[in-house]
Homo-oligomer: A and B are copies of this chain.
Amino acid sequence: MTRVEADDLIAFTTAVFRAHRLPEADARASAEALCHGDTTGTSSHGVANLTRIYLPLLRSGRANPDAKPERLVDRGPTLLVDGDRALGLWLAGAAMDLATIRAADYGVGVVSVRNATHFGCAGHHALRAVERGMIGLVLANCGHQRIAPAPVGGPELLGTNPLAVAAPAGRRPPFLLDMSTTTAPTGKVRAAARAGERIPSGWLAGPAGPETDPAALDAGTARLTWLGAPGPAEHKGFGLGLAVEVLAALLPGAGLGPLSTGTEDDDVGFFVMALAPDTLRDGFTEDSEALFSAVAGAGAQYPGEPESLRTRQSHADGVWIADPVFHELRAVADECGIRPPTAL
């Protein structure tokens, strides 16, 4: 493992996106979104995906560095946006910023996005609402990419269809649920495969039952399961995945996994919503702080608490990068003619 400063990693990633012709603000926002994975300890969704997802998207032309998203419909609290194949890393945050502006007036703001690309950690974008004292919801499908079949098996139908819900909690770390509706995201399965580790029973299902070899996913000998597996309620996780497909992709008219004949995650759809509690009542933040204090006081960490602690540590002490990923970053730096992050 190699340790680097969080700000150095973000500056490096910004420079990589600049070198791929993104404007400064979009490059910076994309870098912050991508490094959210590393600073929160979700390294499966961090800079490891630079060479796996985002640079291939830009180099192949599937993502548009000069994207100018267009507001196709504007009904006040609800907008339909064509993402113009922008990097989802910055587009989703911009959508949330717009949703919060409308929510400040109307109580709710919904930005329904089509023609987008992969946005990294859903939670990063949901947290932008929390900065404005609001509740944020972010859902995405995986466009034309189909990764997981129904619990009964059969052809792949949907992506991992993530969802995030964030809420302010006063002086406590914000509540932040950020999850794939599959039991585990593909990024974590592949990170385990790269590390040569077994995965927990339940992430993958093979013909004979739970499969703990992560390589079985890309070998095609096991399927990604839905939340609930291997328990009695996997149909609920599949239903949640379908609900995300409806809200994030069917609503805006984005690519739909079950109707796709392609294999790439193009024409991704987002559902981005902000709710402004202060437009409805006083005391929301105080009540939220009390709520999450009570949950924490009962001995239960709540989603967002460990990630918040880890983020603080990352900014104070640096971020740990797996050595193979650090080597990749150095190669990217050479290609872009920029300096790599400094190993501490």
* A 177-210 to B, binary, CB cutoff 8 A, 1 in contact else 0: 1010001100000000000000011110000000
A236 at the interface (CB under 8 A from B): yes
Residues of B within 8 A of A200 (CB): 231-232
**Chain B residues, Cβ within 8 Å of A149:** 298, 300
Determine if B239 and A179 form an interchain contact, defined as CB atoms under 8 angstroms apart. yes
Chain B residues with Cβ below 8 Å from A69 are: none
Interface mask (A228-260 → B, CB under 8 Å = 1, otherwise 0):
111111011111101101110011110010110
Asked if A263 is an interface residue, CB under 8 A from chain B, the answer is no
Q: Does A77 contact B (CB under 8 A)?
A: yes
Which size class do A's interface residues fall under? 35 or more
The segment from A19-27, A57-65, A85-93, A103-111 that touches chain B is: A103-111
Contact residues of A: prevailing secondary structure:
mixed
Given A200-B232, A227-B233, A232-B183: A77 in contact with B107 (beta carbons within 8 A): yes
The smallest C-beta distance from A215 to any residue of chain B, in angstroms, reads 18
Q: Which of A155, A165, A231, A252 has the most CB of B within 10 A?
A: A231
Task: Give a binary string over A46-72; 1 marks a CB under 8 Å from any B CB, 0 the rest.
Answer: 000000000000000000000000001
Interface segment, one of A274-282, A314-322, A324-332: A274-282
- From residue 137 to 162 of chain A, which have CB atoms closer than 8 A to chain B? 149-155, 157
B154 touches A298 (CB 8 A): yes
Determine if A157 and B300 form an interchain contact, defined as CB atoms under 8 angstroms apart: yes
CA distance A90 to B203 in the complex (A): 40
Residues of B within 8 A of A233 (CB): 179, 183-184, 202, 227
Q: Pick the most buried of A76, A108, A302: most chain B CB atoms within 10 A of its CB.
A: A108
A308 within 8 A of B: no
B228, A135: Cβ atoms closer than 8 Å: no
A294 at the interface (CB under 8 A from B): yes
CB distance from A98 to the nearest CB of B (A): 14
CA distance A153 to B77 in the complex (A): 41
Pairs across A and B, CB under 8 Å, 26 listed: A72-B280, A73-B279, A75-B105, A75-B106, A75-B280, A77-B107, A77-B108, A78-B280, A112-B280, A135-B246, A150-B300, A151-B300, A175-B246, A177-B239, A177-B242, A179-B233, A227-B228, A227-B236, A228-B228, A229-B231, A230-B231, A245-B291, A250-B288, A251-B277, A256-B290, A256-B291
